[in-house]
Structure 1
Amino acid sequence: MGRTHVPGLHASWLLLGAGLAAGCASTPTPPVTAFAADGAVATAIVEPPDARHYEVQPGEQFFRELPRRENRAPVYPPALLDRRLGPVSVVARIVVGASGDVERAAVVDADAADPAFAEAVLAAVRTWTFIPLKRIVGNRMEPLPFTQDYRFTFTQENGRAVVVQGAPRGG
């Protein structure tokens, strides 16, 4: 039997081969010579010694407040990353209304570092919302305001591992 010739088939194979070869070629990425500093922020609830609490009366139940998932942690001030500061701690007191919105926020304790850390904390916590604290008595549910202190600790994690792909061999 003879071969059947399909017009353009040979050209299609050539184009496919050229496309595969081009896909394997890549532009070399220059190697990274320095590692960027990454800032991290840890959050903890602080119980001040003079904290006041609602007292549970007979027949009452309380459902604890819950922070919303959308609440964002403060951002390490980008302009301060290159200063390679040690850990910085900021304690903020927030007053949350019965609606679950932050009504007031203030810094109550801060390390003697740059005020940009306190500003970052306040900018974040003022946007926070909560599922409100609730008191249940019989069939009645009453949302309640509350005050809570949070400690934010800013740290840097230097030397983040970087994988460089496509770098030329030998330098």
Structure 2
Amino acid sequence: MSAAFPPSWYASSLPEPPALPPLRGELHADVAILGAGYTGLTAALELALRGQRVVVLEAQRIGWGASGRNGGQALVGYGCEVDELERQLGREDARRLFDWSREAVQTMRARIDRHGIECHWVEGHASVAIRARHERDLRANCEHRQRHDDYPMQGWERDTLRGQRDSPRYRGA
């Protein structure tokens, strides 16, 4: 078991957290959660708020896996564009999934406020294009979300994006 987080930009941006002691002896709980990533910690918090005695067991460190290496982003949507979800599920179910992802981000923000979590939350996000095809897909996704999902988005041309993120790599956002 490694004591440090694997090397990453995120890990290098924070002080090394202290190691937590291993569980010794007996511990009694209503529920044991295995893994202290987003899912495990969210489940533990929800159960504790409902009066359950919860213990979270983690072999490494809190946020060790993918939960600790996502760059701190909380994004709506899924790993494919809306047209692919609609093709597979139909418009109604794809919209339902998108609404759930919006609700999840709102719930995360409410928990941050409720528990006074210092995490430097910034509203919004940018999806950027590095190829012409990506740029076309982003524009189509933006137009669809505005028209069908009541989701406020705006497209940025290269010059507007360069004013925000000065990188010649990106074609638009």
Normalised TM-score (structure 1)? 0.18
Instruction: Identify the structure with the greater helix proportion.
Output: 2
Higher relative contact order (CA 8 A, sep 6+): 1
